[in-house]
């Protein structure tokens, strides 16, 4: 929603994007649902900051996607 709003505000065409769900990728890779922090721990990735900090959570989700693709 934020991307659509900002593109509209600045008169830009919304780019074609492919969205991935980090939680679904982790569930598929690890075989069960778990928290973002727990999934990173299982995959051997440090949580990049404080949990529940929006920027740290976004970085953690990106790190989770990258770890699941390995």
Contact assessment for residue 44 and residue 29, using Cβ atoms and an 8 Å cutoff: no
What's the CA gap between 24 and 7, in Å, rounded?
27
Tokens 């679904």: give the residue.
24
Residue in 19, 22, 30 with CA at minimum distance from that of residue 62: 22
- Reported as a single tens digit per residue, the pLDDT across 17-53 is 888 899 999 999 999 999 999 999 999 999 999 988 9
Against a cut of 0.85, is the pTM above it?
no
Give the pLDDT score at 51.
85
């Amino acid at each position: 929603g934020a991307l659509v709003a900002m593109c509209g505000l600045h008169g830009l065409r919304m780019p074609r994007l492919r969205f991935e769900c980090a939680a679904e990728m982790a569930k598929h890779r690890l075989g069960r649902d778990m928290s973002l922090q727990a999934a990173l721990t299982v995959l051997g990735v440090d949580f990049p900051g404080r949990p529940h900090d929006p920027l740290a959570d976004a970085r953690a989700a990106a790190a989770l996607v990258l770890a699941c693709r390995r």
